[in-house]
Amino acid sequence: MQLIKRSFILITLALLVACSTEKEIVKAPEPIPVYVPEPLITLELAEPIQKKKRGSVGANIHFTNSSSGTYQYILFRATAYDKDGNIVRARKSRDHSAYLRVAGPVHPGEYSKGNSWKNTWGRAKIDCIDVDHVEIIFSDGSVEIAQGDRLTKLTSGSCVQ
């Protein structure tokens, strides 16, 4: 019986000593930083152009090449909205968005203004234009899409959704 008591005490002491020893704390490795690409284009202005009170409406877009490459062609996907927030379909394609093309070259850091298109939408009651997608063809033939973080909007005529 005494042997069992002594064994129990020794086992208890051994467990207490094992629990009380300092344990090395391993720090988790720091997360790898996520690559955030630079913006490709900065929209300065996107507004509807109305020549008359009736008839078709065009678009006017000013932008800056924010990248280090030269743009050969730029294709803007523009969606027009009326004052109630309804989408106005493009005049020729009847699509939700109109596709507006600019031929370059547009050099790095260059501000391009006066890009205007006529007869883009059939209704004269367009309140604003939103450009949410830009396809860019560089002078070397590579193609990139600017949307989300790669498309900076500083526009005053842009729609607030």
Write the pLDDT tens digit of every residue in 128-157: 888 888 899 988 888 888 887 777 777 555
Q: Average the pLDDT over 87-114 and give the result.
A: 84
pLDDT in tens, 2-38: 777 777 787 877 776 666 556 677 788 888 888 777 8
Map out the domains of the chain as residue ranges. Answer: 41-153
Q: What is the pLDDT of residue 72?
A: 92
Q: CB neighbours of 39 closer than 8 A, spacing ≥ 6?
A: 66, 67, 146, 149, 150, 151, 152
Q: CB neighbours of 93 closer than 8 A, spacing ≥ 6?
A: 99
Which CATH architecture does the domain made up of 41-153 adopt? Answer: Sandwich (2.60)
